[in-house]
Structure 1
Amino acid sequence: MRKATTPTACPCGRLQGTGAKAQPVAYADCCGRFLDHWDTQPAPDAEHLMRSRYTAFVRERADYLLATWHPSHRPVTLDFDPATQWLGLEVRGHWVQDADHAEVEFVARHRLGGRAVRLHERSRFVREGGRWFYVDGDHR
């Protein structure tokens, strides 16, 4: 008898379905398609990009984070603290200003050195050449 396998849930926490029947979306069907194929499959909107960037932090994918950071604010390098344990993401809102500008408010939680950290940000995104980029954000 073959054991059934469950696809790995995406770290961004996206669910499909509603209520008690809501199930986590698999990484490959969610942020994985953008992280693993960012050159051919860009995120379709700012919320998808924000979720995929959270997943990139969880998976320590500096290549994706730097590629999706707008050049006007992109750091030269990106380092990860191996002691960081990501705990979850809550998207609080997604606002489209026009076809090429949007904002996403989120709370990302992680633990660092035994201390709980909560990042609450309203991020700005811009679309250029058919791709969305993270510009910057205001901490709440």
Structure 2
Amino acid sequence: MSAAATAFSQSFFHGTRANLRPGGMITVGYQSNFAGTPLSWVYFAGTMDAAIWGAELAAGEGPERIYVVEPTGAWFDDPNVTDKRFAGNPTLSYRSRDPLRIIGEVVNWQGHSAEQIREMKNGIARLMQEGKNVIID
């Protein structure tokens, strides 16, 4: 290996409206943005797009935020995404029962268009009406 070679490092992200600080922990037990019930997993992604959706769809009134996070324990593919919508996990969506350590916040990111957000929210509302908004927890 040459002196110029560096180790690959995967970054992970968590989208939310919560005002958190580097060094803090994101833990299980918070309400889902999609089912409205407390969850026994914490969710994160290896792509900014998935984290942006998380922030844009998050419940609450605060500003949308994206945090760079580090899993502190074992983590697994998120079956809510990988088994239901995207075979092979192209969004790199994961979950863990262990906390996520907040490393920093991404402050300059480009969100989806108002039309895309409206379509996504309409789709989620349709799933709720059909009783298909079930989170595999």
Q: TM-score w.r.t. structure 1 length?
A: 0.28
Q: Which has the higher contact order (CA 8 A, sep 6+)?
A: 2
Determine which structure has the larger strand proportion and give its number: 1
